[in-house]
Chains A and B, each alone.
Chain A
Amino acid sequence: MNNERPPRRPVDNDDNTNQDTRKSGEPLLRIQSLCKSFGDTRAVDGVDLSLPRGSVFGLLGPNGAGKTTIVRMLATLLRPDSGRITVGGHDTATEPEAVRRSIGLSGQFASVDEKLTGAENLYLVGRLYGMSRRTARSRAAEMLGRFRLTEAADRRAQHYSGGMRRRLDLAGALLARPELVVLDEPTTGLDPRSRMDTWEIIGELVAEGATVLLTTQYLEEADRLAGRIAVLSAGRIVERGTPDQLKARTGGQRLDVTVPSEELEVTAGILGALAQSTPAVDPVNRRVEVAVPHGRSAMTEALRRFAEAGIEPLDMALRRATLDDVFLALTEEPSPEPDRAGELTP
């Protein structure tokens, strides 16, 4: 975001350059052994993260995994029980003010004021970031344009759609050109169209080189936006890597077979024996799915056994594991239920 700002004075520019070189080797965000309990519940249980400048990091986890708790501690809204968070070298515990200046927060709990218009909401945020009246006003107008809200600028936020509201909130988070953008579940509760819009905007942000920490429960979202992902389950990071690494690490490939209803059971038996794991059966779509380590040979072998058993698959496909598969494998409860088959298929 910073590089789009025209240098005001040569002196300023030099300062910025020096600062950037000095800090470039150091991660912008560093979280070390972070813990937070509420009563007996360990909401965040020893989380380590570091986020280099210009990267997009996805924190992926189901509801209650501790994502929002981490964000709240990062945004200085909540004090950690132990551990340390630094943003641009500033510690949230000792320099909360500097941290607040460095981050732009948008998401679940950072709400817009319903009674104010879009323009007024952004003006308010700009002024509270310390901008002059004029700067706040022009910056608000600029952001409204960028987030396609210019026409709605003078309407009260209470009349905005969910997607517009989210865009307004996002605009507020980016208004002061923060070093670190924190997006807490940016598309939760949005309809598909608004979700696409929001993704597009975050995509632009990423293309411009912003540093973003994104939390989400949607795998597709993390896959699409984040360069690196950590999977959070019950307050702990259970896996991390690029989306591709994660997919490769768990499950490898999936064999997906559709058969007539009456042959579902036999098919499941054959595939189970073949892959040495429990296949997922989706009776509605008459589909059986199983994780296989070596896709091609598994496919050939399956076809041979189907022919032996006299089964003629209606459809048969080999696909790479999606993040959904990874996610479910990683966050699954210790006691596996054969019935969760239906949930597996999107």
Chain B
Amino acid sequence: MTTLLRVGRDAHIIAWRNLLNLRRTPGTLLTSTAQPIMFVLLLAYVFGGSLGGDAYREFLMGGIFAQTMAFNAAFTTIGFANDLQRGFVDRLRALPMSRVAVIIGRTTSDLSASMVSLVVTSLCGLAVGWRIRGSALDAVLAYLLILLFAFAMSWVGAWIGLIAPSVEVAMSAGLIWLFPVTFISSGFVSVSAMPSGLSAIAEWNPITAVAGATRTLFGNPTPANLPQPVGWPAEHAALYTVLCSVAIIAVFLPLAAARYRRVATR
């Protein structure tokens, strides 16, 4: 119990430091704000026209939310790579503090970047015709679900940031894996139109679940011209999202923590 308390306390202090850093280098938030704007506009108007117009744009937003949150994993990756390069991690490692707290502090403070992205994405969505059509409670649940997923993805980002040998590598490696992960899903198109192997992956991809769950909770239907989603993950999208998020954290928390312990020996 005292260990847990101490982890929480130390993580809180680290998060405080990260947020101060974030507030004093507002440029780092540029990606988190520009990216959702770009994706909404590109997909809504480049793809939107041929995929169903207004109905598609409303459908699209669930995918954009999921994608934006996934991409914020790169934010964690770059944050860690920077701290490593500047020697800040070494300073922390020489202090008598909880080690996992350094990573928890980072993943929680990075949630703030995700919140900024979420607000920007929502505003963009409203501008292209997306609306919250469900109840207020459902909408709150949808946002919480999205943030839970963002938090989980942040752990993957932390691990990548800790294994990347330099900031430069972290920058490209931190982003590149996100493209297949977010696009092989029902985020922007229907899964059933994909080749069979790919559609199986897409069906079980957590991005599909996040997109599906938020669509349901926000009351955004799949347009009539797209095949309706089927399968267990699609039918239990919210539950599956929670399960996936927990599983991702359960896998990547120990991985990142183990890596953190070894990281300065390179």
**B88 near A: Cβ within 8 Å?**
yes
- B264 in contact with A78 (CB, 8 Å): yes
- B95 in contact with A113 (CB, 8 Å): no
Stretch of A101-109, A295-303, A331-339 at the chain-chain interface:
A101-109
Find chain B residues with CB under 8 A from A172 CB.
91
Q: Of residues 37 to 69 in A, which have CB atoms within 8 Å of B's CB atoms?
A: none
- Of all chain B residues, the one with the shortest Cβ separation from A105 is B94
**A247 near B: Cβ within 8 Å?**
no
Given contacts A111-B91, A116-B21, A172-B91, 20 further A-B contacts (CB under 8 A): A75-B94, A76-B93, A79-B265, A97-B96, A100-B94, A100-B95, A100-B96, A105-B91, A105-B94, A109-B90, A110-B87, A110-B94, A111-B86, A111-B90, A113-B21, A124-B16, A124-B17, A128-B13, A128-B92, A129-B96
Find chain B residues with CB under 8 A from A105 CB.
91, 94
**A275 near B: Cβ within 8 Å?**
no
Interface core residue of A105, A109, A127, A128 (most chain B CB under 10 Å): A128
Cα of A124 to Cα of B9 in the assembled complex, Å: 12
Number of residues of chain A lying within 8 A (CB) of chain B: 27
Instruction: Determine which of B17, B94, B97 lies in contact with A113 in the assembled complex, contact meaning CB atoms within 8 Å.
Output: B17
Instruction: Determine which of B24, B87, B96 lies in contact with A111 in the assembled complex, contact meaning CB atoms within 8 Å.
Output: B87
- Of all chain A residues, the one with the shortest Cβ separation from B97 is A128
Find chain B residues with CB under 8 A from A185 CB.
none
Find chain B residues with CB under 8 A from A325 CB.
none
- A101 in contact with B96 (CB, 8 Å): yes
- A113 in contact with B88 (CB, 8 Å): yes
Q: How far is the CB of B28 from chain A (nearest CB, A)?
A: 10
Q: Of residues 115 to 156 in A, which have CB atoms within 8 Å of B's CB atoms?
A: 115-116, 120, 124-125, 127-130, 156
Chain A residues with CB under 8 Å of chain B are 72, 75-79, 97, 100-101, 103, 105, 109-111, 113-116, 120, 124-125, 127-130, 156, 172
- Provide a sorted-by-A list of 15 A–B residue pairs whose CB atoms are within 8 angstroms: A76-B94, A78-B264, A101-B96, A105-B94, A110-B90, A111-B86, A111-B88, A111-B90, A113-B17, A124-B13, A124-B16, A128-B13, A128-B92, A130-B96, A130-B97
Find chain A residues with CB under 8 A from B140 CB.
none
Chain B residues with CB under 8 Å of chain A are 10, 13, 16-17, 20-21, 24-25, 86-88, 90-97, 264-265
- A115 in contact with B24 (CB, 8 Å): yes
Q: How far is the CB of B183 from chain A (nearest CB, A)?
A: 35
Chain B: interface secondary structure? helix
Find chain A residues with CB under 8 A from B87 CB.
109-111
Cα of A114 to Cα of B16 in the assembled complex, Å: 15
Find chain B residues with CB under 8 A from A115 CB.
20-21, 24-25
Find chain A residues with CB under 8 A from B20 CB.
115-116, 120
- Of all chain A residues, the one with the shortest Cβ separation from B13 is A127
Cα of A111 to Cα of B264 in the assembled complex, Å: 14
Q: How far is the CB of A85 from chain B (nearest CB, A)?
A: 14
- B95 in contact with A128 (CB, 8 Å): yes
- A129 in contact with B95 (CB, 8 Å): yes
Instruction: Determine which of A77, A130, A156 lies in contact with B93 in the assembled complex, contact meaning CB atoms within 8 Å.
Output: A77
Q: How far is the CB of A102 from chain B (nearest CB, A)?
A: 9
Find chain A residues with CB under 8 A from B92 CB.
128
Cα of A76 to Cα of B95 in the assembled complex, Å: 10
Q: How far is the CB of B250 from chain A (nearest CB, A)?
A: 26
Cα of A72 to Cα of B91 in the assembled complex, Å: 11
Cα of A125 to Cα of B25 in the assembled complex, Å: 21
Find chain B residues with CB under 8 A from A130 CB.
96-97
Interface core residue of A97, A115, A129 (most chain B CB under 10 Å): A115
Find chain A residues with CB under 8 A from B97 CB.
128-130
Find chain B residues with CB under 8 A from A97 CB.
96
- Of all chain A residues, the one with the shortest Cβ separation from B24 is A115
Find chain A residues with CB under 8 A from B95 CB.
100, 125, 128-129
Cα of A115 to Cα of B22 in the assembled complex, Å: 9
- Of all chain B residues, the one with the shortest Cβ separation from A101 is B96
Cα of A172 to Cα of B21 in the assembled complex, Å: 19
Cα of A105 to Cα of B10 in the assembled complex, Å: 19
**Which are the 6 A-B pairs with shortest beta-carbon distances?**
A111-B87, A100-B96, A101-B96, A128-B97, A75-B94, A115-B21
Find chain B residues with CB under 8 A from A77 CB.
90, 93-94, 264-265
Q: How far is the CB of A70 from chain B (nearest CB, A)?
A: 14
- Of all chain B residues, the one with the shortest Cβ separation from A111 is B87
- Of all chain A residues, the one with the shortest Cβ separation from B263 is A77
Q: How far is the CB of A201 from chain B (nearest CB, A)?
A: 19
Cα of A111 to Cα of B16 in the assembled complex, Å: 18
Find chain B residues with CB under 8 A from A103 CB.
94
Find chain A residues with CB under 8 A from B16 CB.
124
Cα of A127 to Cα of B10 in the assembled complex, Å: 8
- Of all chain A residues, the one with the shortest Cβ separation from B93 is A77
Find chain B residues with CB under 8 A from A129 CB.
95-97
Instruction: Determine which of A76, A78, A110, A120 lies in contact with B91 in the assembled complex, contact meaning CB atoms within 8 Å.
Output: A110
Find chain A residues with CB under 8 A from B13 CB.
124, 127-128
Cα of A79 to Cα of B88 in the assembled complex, Å: 19
